[in-house]
Amino acid sequence: MAETPAPFVPAAGASTPAALWSSRHAVRFEVPAAGTYRVGFAASATGALGSVALAHVQLEKAAPGAAPTDYAPTGASRTILRGMCPIAASKLRAAFERRCEANACFYELTRPLAINTESLHDGASPLAGKLARGNHNYRHITLGLNLVGQGILDCGGTCPAAGYVEYDLEHNARYAGILDRNGAARPFDFGLAGIRHGKGIAMERHLSFPLSSIDEGLLRQAGIEKPELRGRPLDGKYRLRVYESPQLRWSRLEDIQLVLQYRYWSPIHANGN
């Protein structure tokens, strides 16, 4: 079933982009069965000759009666970079899905977190001001996880006190861009790697920079700063899984922080050239 909007006809003599392009149209349809479908566009539905220009076509699965979401430019991977940090706690929790497998339940990020150091150049990256802009070949040393939330671990005094959660972090660097000294990204395949059942801090603290002596002491505890990704590029897609426990109160989660120790190369200019 489809709703076909009225065709857009530019005003006679229109020359500016605002006059030549219509507002965004949405066409709803139902897919009766799984399969391969072709989507086509015609210049005219009445048989008369005409011309058409299309831009920013987006297909998406929507709930019945729901409006389409904002346009999101994607490539072959369908991964997008969006500067949305910080976000509301409710939206952060909604980005995870509770699942169970192999006798364990967990909250898993439904869409991977993407890091693209090439975007540091234009200053639009959400990591601008956090990573050392103007360098190249960014690589992991260690990584730590911190969950923020009042009473995020609570069992009513009926269990031993704990200050950590267990998590997995998968790093997909099958097509990771390594910045060369000219600022160009050179793609390489570093495969998949990850941290399995690492321990993340859950002490109701929000880590700030520079770190306080207390926070630095927490990160230096055995098993918190993980070296499994050492030498791998920062670029890639990350998928996080936080394991459920009797103490974890997911509804109280407010923020998640990744604490990176990383290295990079800096250009050296000989003789001032």
The percentage of residues in the chain with a pLDDT greater than 70, rounded to a whole number, is: 79
Q: Is the pLDDT of residue 96 over 90?
A: yes
pLDDT at 128: 78
- pLDDT tens sequence across 119-153: 887 666 778 788 888 888 999 999 999 999 999 99
Buried b (16+ CB within 10 A) or exposed e, 31-63: eeeeeeeeeeeeeeeeeeeeeeeeeeeeeeeee
Residue in this structure with the two tokens 């993980």, named with its chain if needed: 226
Q: What is the mean pLDDT of residues 102-126?
A: 85
| Burial environment of residue 209 by CB neighbours within 10 A (0 to 12, 13 to 18, 19 or more) | exposed
pLDDT at 27: 78
- pLDDT tens sequence across 163-190: 899 999 999 999 888 888 877 888 899 9
pLDDT at 83: 53
* Coil vs helix vs strand at 198: strand
- 233 versus 44: which is more confidently predicted? 233
Mean residue pLDDT of the chain comes to 83
Chain centre to alpha carbon of residue 30 = 29
The percentage of residues in the chain with a pLDDT greater than 90, rounded to a whole number, is: 37
Binned at pLDDT 50, 70 and 90, residue 261 comes out as very high
- pLDDT tens sequence across 58-95: 787 777 766 666 666 566 556 555 555 567 899 999 99
